[in-house]
Amino acid sequence: MTRQFKNAIVKRPSPEMVDGITKASLGKPDYQNALTQHDLYIQALESCGLKVRVLEADNRFPDSTFIEDISVCTPHCAIITNPGAPARNGEIKGMKDVLKEYYKNIEEIKAPGTLDGGDVMMVGDHYYIGLSDRTNNEGVDQFINILEKYNMTGSKVKMKNMLHLKTGLSYLENNNLLIAGEFKKYPEFEKFNRIEIDHKEAYSANSLWINGTVFVPKGYPGTKKKIEALGYKVIEVDTSEFRKLDGGLSCLSLRF
Ligand code: GLY
């Protein structure tokens, strides 16, 4: 059965975002433009029927607008992660109190396990979890044990190059999977209806399904056309300032 999201949680970018972690060579983000793009992202979520909770910016953590890495919200429990980048680890503080307003069951990944939510892709009751520079074996084992407690399942995906699993994959429901780069060769994704993303549009492999509509980053016409050809309504959302910090559409919210 296809999931339906009712809620989203986002966190406002802080002025310190200009010093966020990045491997992209695209220059520093423009903070005012990032705020405008964040406003439009929230509006896009609301246009799909979601109630959006907007958390205040946290000046201590430049990357904290990428809230997806901090928790994973399943239909049965919320899992607070233990982010793998030391500079981001403190972002989890306070999340328990926020999530308690929505969830009875709250779980946590504990050291020495590390896990970033960007490495988790939900496909029904099964979760693919990337072993990346941010997410380690112990973190994935803990995560799968938690899933099994609630009758869900998970499997590890050994990754090579990408920052996060969802840097190169997006599940659009109905067996449709956007797939880019190294993942095109991975046997575990052969069973999906794979929509291969061209190398020059690789960033748009991080698109976002929201209740039947797909958000696609602005400026990727090839990907947009492929998704529209599948019958989805598409909303283009400009994420240029977040891309400068290796962030994408999914990184900017928790959806449940
Ligand atoms: N700049 C986002 C991250 O590296 O996690």
Please count the structural domains in the chain. Answer: 1
Catalytic machinery residues: 164, 251
SS3 100: helix
Percent of the chain that is helix, strand, coil (3-state, to 5): 35, 25, 40
Q: In sequence order, which residues have a C-beta less than 8 Å from that of residue 250 and are 6 or more positions away?
A: 68, 118, 166, 170, 206, 208
- Asked if residue 1 belongs to a domain, the reply is no
Backbone angles phi, psi at 197, to 5 degrees: -95, 130
- Asked if residue 139 belongs to a domain, the reply is yes
Give 135's Cβ-side CA count (13 Å radius).
32
Angle at 3 between CA 88 and CA 190, to 5 degrees: 80
Distance, CA of 76 to CA of 82 (rounded, Å): 19
Structural domain range at position 39: 7-255
Taking alpha carbons only, the member of 82, 68, 62 closest to residue 10 is 68
- Asked if residue 127 belongs to a domain, the reply is yes
- 152-181 pLDDT, tens digit per residue, is 999 999 999 999 999 999 999 999 999 999
Q: Looking at the CA of residue 118, tell me the nearest atom of ligand 1.
A: 5
What torsion do the CA atoms of 216, 218, 220, 221 make, to the nearest 10 degrees?
90
- Asked if residue 2 belongs to a domain, the reply is no
Can you tell me the mean pLDDT for 208-214? Answer: 98
- Asked if residue 214 belongs to a domain, the reply is yes
Ligand 1 centre from 230 Cα, in Å? 31
Q: Which residues lie with the beta carbon below 6 Å from any ligand 1 atom?
A: 20-22, 63, 66, 69, 85, 88, 245-247
- Asked if residue 161 belongs to a domain, the reply is yes
Q: Which amino acid is at 54?
A: V
Percentage of the chain with pLDDT > 70? Answer: 100
Contact 244, 28 (CB under 8 A): yes
- Asked if residue 30 belongs to a domain, the reply is yes
Q: Looking at the CA of residue 163, tell me the nearest atom of ligand 1.
A: 4
Q: Is the pLDDT of residue 58 over 90?
A: yes
* pLDDT for position 113: 98
Q: Residue 179 pairs with which residues in a beta bridge?
A: 169, 196
- Asked if residue 107 belongs to a domain, the reply is yes
SS3 51: strand
Assign residue 81 the CATH number of its domain: 3.75.10.10
- 96-113 pLDDT, tens digit per residue, is 999 999 999 999 999 999
